[in-house]
A and B are shown apart, each in its own frame.
Chain A
Amino acid sequence: QKEVEQDPGPLSVPEGAIVSLNCTYSNSAFQYFMWYRQYSRKGPELLMYTYSSGNKEDGRFTAQVDKSSKYISLFIRDSQPSDSATYLCAIGTGTASKLTFGTGTRLQVTL
Chain B
Amino acid sequence: EAQVTQNPRYLITVTGKKLTVTCSQNMNHEYMSWYRQDPGLGLRQIYYSMNVEVTDKGDVPEGYKVSRKEKRNFPLILESPSPNQTSLYFCASSSRAVQETQYFGPGTRLLVL
Interfacial residues, chain A to chain B (CB-CB below 8 A): 6, 8, 32, 34, 36, 41-46, 49, 88, 90, 92, 94-99, 101-104
Chain B 14-47 interface 0/1 with A at a Cβ cutoff of 8 Å (1 = within): 0000000000000000011101000011111100
B residues near A (Cβ < 8 Å) are 4, 31-33, 35, 40-45, 48, 50, 90, 92, 94, 98-107
Which residues of chain A are within 8 angstroms of B48 by Cβ–Cβ distance? 96-98
Q: Are B43 and A34 in contact (CB under 8 A)?
A: no
- State the majority secondary structure of interface residues on B: strand
Inside 8 A of A95's CB, which chain B residues have their CB? 99
A49 touches B101 (CB 8 A): yes
Which chain B residues lie closer than 8 Å to A49 at the CB level? 98, 100-101
Contacts of B33 in A (CB 8 A): 97
| Complex Cα gap A95–B98 (Å) | 11
B99 contact set on A, CB distance < 8 A: 92, 94-97
23 contacts between A and B (CB under 8 A): A32-B100, A34-B100, A34-B101, A43-B105, A44-B43, A45-B104, A46-B101, A88-B42, A88-B43, A90-B43, A90-B100, A92-B100, A94-B100, A96-B50, A96-B99, A97-B32, A97-B33, A97-B92, A97-B94, A97-B102, A98-B45, A99-B45, A99-B100
